[in-house]
Amino acid sequence: MVPSVAEFEKLGVFYLGRHYDLAAGQLRDELLLYDSKDLCTHALCVGMTGSGKTGLCMALLEEAAIDRIPVICVDPKGDLGNLLLTFPELRAEDFRPWLEVGEATRKGKTLDELAEETAQRWREGLAKWGQGPERIEMLRRSVDISIYTPGSSAGIPLTVLRSFDAPHGEILSDPDAMRERIGGSASGLLALLGIDADPLLSREHILISSILDHCWRNGRSVTISEMIGLIQAPPVERVGVLDLNSFMPLDQRMQLAMRLNNLLASPSFATWLEGESLDIQRLLYTQDGRPRISILSLSHLNDAERMFFVTILLNELVAWMRGQSGTSSLRAIFYMDEVFGYFPPSAKPPSKQPMMTLLKQARAFGLGITLATQNPVDLDYKGLSNIGTWFLGRLQTDRDKQRVLDGLQGAAAQSGQDFDRQKMEQTLAALGNRVFLMNNVHEDKPTIFQSRWAMSFLAGPLARGQISELMQGKKAGAPSLAAQTPEKIDAAAAMPGRPIAPAGVEESFVVSDLRASEGARRVYRPALLAEGTMHFVRESAGVDLWRDQRRLLRCGGGLPKNLWEASETVTDGVEFSAAAEEGFEFCDLPVELCNRENYKQWGKDFKDYLYRHCPLVLYKSPILKQYAPPGTTAGQARLAFDQQAREARDLETEKLRSKYASRKEGIDRRIRAAEERVAREEKQLKDQSLSSMINLGTSILGSLLGNKRRSSSTTTKAGSIVRSASRAASKQSDLTRAEENLKELALDMMDVEQELRKEIDKVTSRYAIENLVLEETVVPARKTDLQVGNVKLVWTPWQLDAQGIAQPLF
């Protein structure tokens, strides 16, 4: 029966599916309507790949959106961006951009045919669950959905600078909260530096914690760049009972400061310092008060960067939570799509403490924590005993089941409920696809249900380009807060007047695109700009490419020995102007930049540099017999080959499945015949045993009644009983042989499936993008086509603070 909208469209309840009869394997008419306030006591969704876990979690987030409950989602894999793929009209052309050509090819269809098939499947799936275009439109209207990408400009950039601002008064007045905030910030920063720091033993951790504690208690916020100077010259004279230098000598502090400086100097880290501030309130609501689902996509980050960001985020969430008034209603949701690694049972990563704090305290503030994982064995089940609702799908291993049972038992004990471990284990073993067991401490007994059809199109993990396309309109105007490498310069070197450049040397000014901090001086520092054009040709790779090169050499501290090797590439986003901006002072010109003849020599050096140091590197995959796009790095080449590798892998996998299908079908026919024989032998044995019992009973009854003719009849009956027992024994032997044959056939099937899995694993490993062997071809630029323009003097904008720390404003 198709449910009506009136049955499930109720405020305060989440329509998650329908009850399911596990014994009969049938869907029931009764809807599963989950009371949203139960989420205040948190939830955990567990299920192996293919269990339907993602679909269930997407349905829960959709229900939260319709109820206008804001959500912050941590998305390590890139799946949650699918929440933006909602198509009220359910047209084929809506689905088409999100389908893969490879999938259509494998199915023997065109992309248009696959799009129509997908749209029809979604229309039918939604209709079966009573959902129509009107509900999809309501979902879109209810909330704003945005994808944030810290450390990347694919989505909306998000900066973590604000996370080292001094906390508000409630945190400062709470010793435990202050200790957690300091420890989390220090651990997160050191994790980003690749330092596994024990808060009690690591001198680096204790030093940074002491700096933060001193600065924050004095109301001083600390930027990451300021931390470099504070590590070299901390604002404290003693750490514990030891003086500063005894605790950590200057040379060791310099090493730590240099490590942090190198991190900030890395071009890949520049995007970490750009974008919107990490503001929990802003992630939950738009400026006009509209609830928001903020998806924090981390799929592009490495493990250390993910741990750093998640730790900072959790600490910010704890601070926000403590600033809210208490409530028993659901105020907001924090959802993490794969919590594996962030809340382990034994280790203590920096993310664990704030996560534990949230699980223990967030319910009092109406903040529901929802976690999802495929690996329950890697979670701290003691901490999970604080979770009130468990959504359990199919589990992969017995260890996973036992860990889940441990957590359920702890949650039951916490709530004072009885727990039948054996019965729960039997139920978990019987779950199927999209069928879940919900164990809610607010209800009398567990519930079996099948999850509803998701309104969002589940297209799988989104690539950076797809995220960028979805967020194109929202990225415009995103603020840029800081960038590049801080440097210590002599404040006296800046002067109001503009130095005179050599006659005939062209000058220009880099346009600043960052705002200077309040109170900072703005100065122009000299640099050299060289431009050239290179031509690369390699017929075997189909390459005939012209490429422009612009490189900037900073000269504020004089000229380096290896001139252009120390230069940096100028990106297309850097703008130049013929006039200086108002309010800037000028640094003096190094002596070398005052000689016109030097510029001519530097031009010749630049031409030689381009030929020797800027070849075109091509990467080829022998197994795919393809070249990556010219100019890509090895990592980018692997990404370029990713789709081709997946298609090749899937094609070979399908061939293997077809190859083994006939063998499996033959064994399967024999298994069905053996099962029928076992059933037949069981029936015959049962009938024969019943007959033997009747004969024996008749004989005993006749003896008791004292039949006069019992002598001859007794002999006859005794013989009949013996023959009957013999036939029963024979039937038992037949049954045993039939059962052994069935077991042997089952083992044969397992062997064939294991062989298939091994073959598929080999194919998967061969085409795994991280295992692809790349052949590198270096193509030098054609000397005859190499062209270089005149070297220019360029003035670059910087800000200079009171301590003489300079940061670029471009």
The pLDDT tens digits of the residues spanning 646-675 come to 567 767 877 887 888 888 888 888 888 888
Q: Please say whether the beta carbons of 565 and 590 come within 8 A.
A: no
Please list the alpha-helical segments (H only) found in 37-109: 53-66, 92-95, 101-106
At 479, is the pLDDT very low, low, confident or very high (cuts 50, 70, 90)? very low
Candidates 775, 790, 456, 400; CA nearest to 623 is 775
In angstroms, the first-to-last Cα distance of the chain is: 63
Name which of 154-163, 275-284, 360-369 the model is least confident about.
154-163
For the chain, what percent of residues have pLDDT higher than 70? 88
Q: Are 247 and 234 contacting, i.e. CB atoms less than 8 angstroms apart? A: no
Residue 566 clears pLDDT 70, i.e. is over it = yes
The confidence score (pLDDT) of residue 709 equals: 53
Distance of CA 425 to the CA centre of its chain: 30
DSSP 8-state class, residue 664: H
To which residue do tokens 């808060």 refer? 199
569 forms beta bridges with 551
Q: Is residue 786's pLDDT more than 80?
A: yes
Q: Looking at per-residue confidence, does 419 or 739 come out higher?
A: 739
The set of residues, in sequence order, having a beta carbon less than 8 Å from that of 488 and lying 6+ positions away, is 229, 803, 804, 805, 806
Q: Residue 477 has what pLDDT? A: 46
Report in angstroms the alpha-carbon separations of 767 from 575, 634, 654, 753: 43, 16, 14, 21
What is the enclosing helix (H) or strand (E) of 723?
Answer: helix 710-767
Could you give the 3-state DSSP secondary structure of residue 458? coil
Q: How far, in Å, CA of 381 to CA of 378, rounded?
A: 9
pLDDT, mean over the chain: 84
pTM of the model: 0.59
Q: Which tokens go with 25?
A: 């394997």
Q: Between 303 and 347, name the one with better pLDDT.
A: 303
Q: In a 10 Å sphere around its CB, with 0-12 CB exposed, 13-18 middle and 19+ buried, how is residue 275 labelled?
A: buried
Mean pLDDT value of segment 258-270: 78
The proportion of the chain whose per-residue pLDDT surpasses 90, expressed as a percent, equals 33
Q: How confident is the model at residue 369 (pLDDT cuts 50, 70, 90)?
A: very high
Task: Give the mean pLDDT of 17-45.
Answer: 92
Query: Binning pLDDT at 50, 70 and 90, where does residue 482 land?
Result: very low
For the ranges 85-99, 360-374, 692-706, which has the lowest average pLDDT? 692-706
Is residue 643 over pLDDT 60? no
Return d(Cα 686, Cα 452) in angstroms, integer.
Answer: 45
Tell me: pLDDT of 794 over 90: yes
**pLDDT greater than 70 at residue 703:** no
pLDDT higher than 70, residue 492: no
Token duo for residue 436: 């879940």
**Two structure tokens written together for 212:** 């933060």
Contacts of 229 (CB under 8 A, 6+ apart): 257, 488, 803, 805
pLDDT for position 124: 95
| Neighbouring C-alpha atoms within 13 Å toward the C-beta of 389 | 24
Give the pLDDT band of residue 706 (cuts 50, 70, 90).
low
Q: What is the mean pLDDT of residues 682-698?
A: 71
Residue of higher predicted confidence among 693 and 279: 279
> Per residue in 65-74, pLDDT tens?
998 889 999 9
Residue 476: its pLDDT value, please?
52
pLDDT band at 725 (very low <50, low <70, confident <90, very high): low
For the chain, counts of helices (H) and of strands (E): 23, 29
**Burial track 32-64 (b if 16+ CB lie within 10 A, e otherwise):** bbbebbbbbbbbbbbbeeebbbbbbbbbbbbbb
Give the CB-side neighbour count of residue 734, counting CA atoms within 13 A: 17
For residue 151, pLDDT beyond 60: yes
How confident is the model at residue 790, as a pLDDT? 92
Is a pLDDT exceeding 80 seen at residue 145?
yes
| Helix (H), strand (E), coil (C) string for 262-322 | HHHHCHHHHHHHECEECCHHHHHECCCCCEEEEEEECCCCCHHHHHHHHHHHHHHHHHHHH
For the ranges 351-360, 485-494, 700-709, the lowest mean pLDDT is seen at 485-494
Q: May I ask the CATH architecture of the domain 642-769?
A: Up-down Bundle (1.20)
Cα 691 to Cα 272, 686, 697, 698, 712, distances in angstroms = 83, 9, 10, 11, 21
pLDDT at 128 over 70: yes
Residue 220: exposed, middle, or buried by beta-carbon count in 10 A (0-12, 13-18, 19+)?
Answer: middle
Helix (H, G, I), strand (E, B) or coil at 382: helix
Task: Please enumerate, as own/partner, the contacts of 32-36 that have beta carbons within 8 Å and a separation of 24 or more.
Answer: 32/438, 32/447, 32/449, 33/8, 34/60, 34/63, 34/389, 34/438, 34/440, 35/442, 36/12, 36/63, 36/64, 36/67, 36/69, 36/330
Average pLDDT over residues 724-734: 73
User: What local confidence, expressed as pLDDT, does residue 336 receive?
Assistant: 95
**Tokens describing residue 461:** 């993990």
On the question of pLDDT at 175 being above 80, the answer is yes
Tens of pLDDT, residue by residue over 629-640, are: 888 877 667 656
Residues in the chain: 810
Mean pLDDT within 793-800: 91
The answer on pLDDT for 472 being more than 50 is yes
The CATH number that domain 1-157+274-481 falls under is 3.40.50.300
Q: What's residue 162's pLDDT? A: 52
What pLDDT shows up at residue 498? 82
Whether 296 has a pLDDT exceeding 90, the answer reads yes
Q: Within its chain, how far is the Cα of 126 from the centroid?
A: 27
User: Do residues 532 and 606 lie in contact, with contact meaning Cβ atoms separated by under 8 Å?
Assistant: yes
State both tokens at 343: 């809340």
Mean pLDDT computed over 207-212: 92
pLDDT > 80? residue 234 = yes
Residue 214 near residue 235 (C-beta atoms within 8 A): yes
Give tens-digit pLDDT for 513-529: 777 777 888 999 999 99
CB atoms within 10 A of CB 757: 12
The residue ranges of every structural domain in the chain are 1-157+274-481, 487-615+781-808, 642-769
Judging by beta carbons within 10 Å of its beta carbon (0-12, 13-18, 19+), is residue 481 exposed, middle or buried? middle
Q: For residue 486, is pLDDT > 70? A: no
Poorest-pLDDT segment among 57-61, 497-501, 518-522, 694-698: 694-698
The Cα–Cα gap between 804 and 370 comes to 47
Predicted local confidence at residue 480, as pLDDT: 41
Instruction: Indicate the pLDDT class of residue 485, thresholds 50, 70 and 90.
Output: very low
User: Position 356: which residue type?
Assistant: M
Residue 102 to residue 100: CA distance in whole angstroms: 5
